[in-house]
């Protein structure tokens, strides 16, 4: 590891960023250096401008990839090197107005039933029924479950925020029954559950990996013949949409999801079935006479 890379990592840690964010920010700076085959502190502002245009117009990376790259590069030049370049102030990822895919209740049931491995099925069910992010679900620990109060304590969520989310009775029963199959004192979903090779009761055993959980979900979606572009995070979108359809106030859903801004949660008002059906009724009335004309 170069001295410059170590310095950036130290700066990020001093700012209180999580290790996951540290790695996400360091990676695009390394890619920048590889692109020019030159240490990043020797690059000019014009070279950086060309590279950011390259990401957008040549590689055509997604908005999220571009945002992370820009954040990492901006931190490196502004904070680690102390350079206040204008290009870093004007560069912005292109705007997108995409609505996420949402699964129906029946589709959620169908997909979860199609997950063959018990540890993945238990974890994915918990992610949906508690509105968790992928990593929050995979890394749930036994002490996070408050069975008496029917709550899940989510530690260090996005933005390093803790929160409590409601724990449904059926999910609590599922977690208790599944835990009895491995009795690990720390992890609810230990990594060795599938192969039964590792000593599952050993707290040194880590949690299941994000990649394996995502693969299990995508495989189940495909096996069910569902054509939607669904991934594990789709369960969280579906959870929020289903709660809103059932009349749960938006403010509560915002709290459950751990959103800092209500604007983020408002997205789900565009996805509810009730609103779509309400809009369809006047449209049907408008077009009724057109069908009669044929």
Residue 237 known to be catalytic: no
Q: Answer whether 159's CB lies under 8 Å from 172's CB.
A: no
Candidates 35, 210, 233, 273; catalytic one: 233
Residue 164 known to be catalytic: no
Q: Which pairs with CB-CB distance under 8 Å and at least 24 residues apart come from 75-81?
A: 75/8, 75/11, 75/12, 75/25, 76/8, 76/25, 76/29, 76/40, 77/48, 79/11, 79/15, 80/4, 80/7, 80/8, 80/11, 81/41
Q: CA–CA separation, 124 vs 108, rounded Å?
A: 10
> What's the Rg (C-alpha) of the chain?
23
With a CB cutoff of 8 Å and minimum separation 6, the contacts of 250 are: 244, 262, 265, 266, 268, 269
Residue 259 known to be catalytic: yes
Candidates 66, 74, 236, 242; catalytic one: 236
Which secondary structure element, helix H or strand E, spans residue 145, and what is its range?
strand 145-146
Residue 268 known to be catalytic: yes
CA end-to-end distance (rounded Å), the chain? 73
Residue 236 known to be catalytic: yes
Percentages of the chain per state (helix, strand, coil), in multiples of 5: 60, 5, 35
Which secondary structure element, helix H or strand E, spans residue 153, and what is its range?
strand 151-154
Residue with tokens 């050993």: 202
- 118-130 and 105-114 are packed helices; what angle lies between their axes, rounded to 10 degrees? 160
Residue 158 known to be catalytic: yes
Q: CA–CA separation, 81 vs 217, rounded Å?
A: 42
Candidates 7, 31, 153, 158; catalytic one: 158
The residues annotated with a catalytic role in the active site are 133, 158, 233, 236, 259, 268
């Amino acid at each position: 590891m170069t001295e410059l890379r170590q310095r950036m990592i130290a700066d990020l840690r001093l700012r209180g960023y999580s290790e996951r964010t540290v790695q996400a920010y360091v990676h695009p700076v390394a890619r920048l250096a590889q692109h020019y085959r030159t240490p990043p502190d020797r690059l000019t502002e014009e070279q950086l401008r060309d590279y950011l245009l390259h990401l957008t117009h040549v590689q055509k990376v997604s908005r999220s990839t571009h945002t992370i790259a820009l954040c990492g590069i901006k931190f490196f030049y502004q904070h680690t090197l102390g350079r206040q370049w204008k290009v870093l102030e004007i560069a912005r990822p292109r705007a997108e107005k995409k609505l996420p895919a949402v699964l129906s209740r029946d589709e959620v049931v169908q997909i979860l039933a199609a997950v063959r491995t018990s540890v993945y099925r238990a974890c994915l069910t918990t992610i949906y029924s508690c509105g968790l992010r992928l990593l929050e679900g995979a890394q749930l620990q036994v002490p996070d479950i408050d069975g008496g109060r029917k709550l899940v304590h989510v530690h260090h969520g996005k933005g390093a925020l803790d929160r409590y989310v409601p724990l449904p009775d059926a999910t609590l029963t599922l977690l208790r029954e599944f835990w009895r199959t491995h009795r690990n004192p720390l992890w609810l979903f230990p990594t060795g559950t599938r192969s039964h090779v590792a000593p599952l009761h050993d707290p040194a055993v880590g949690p299941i990996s994000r990649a394996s959980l995502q693969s299990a979900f995508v495989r189940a979606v495909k096996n069910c013949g569902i054509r939607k572009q669904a991934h594990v995070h789709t369960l969280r979108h579906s959870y929020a949409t289903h709660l809103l359809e059932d009349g749960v106030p938006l403010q509560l859903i915002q709290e459950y999801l751990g959103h800092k801004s209500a604007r983020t949660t408002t997205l789900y008002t565009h996805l509810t079935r009730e609103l779509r059906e309400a809009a369809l009724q006047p449209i049907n009335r408008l077009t009724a006479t057109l069908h009669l004309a044929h």
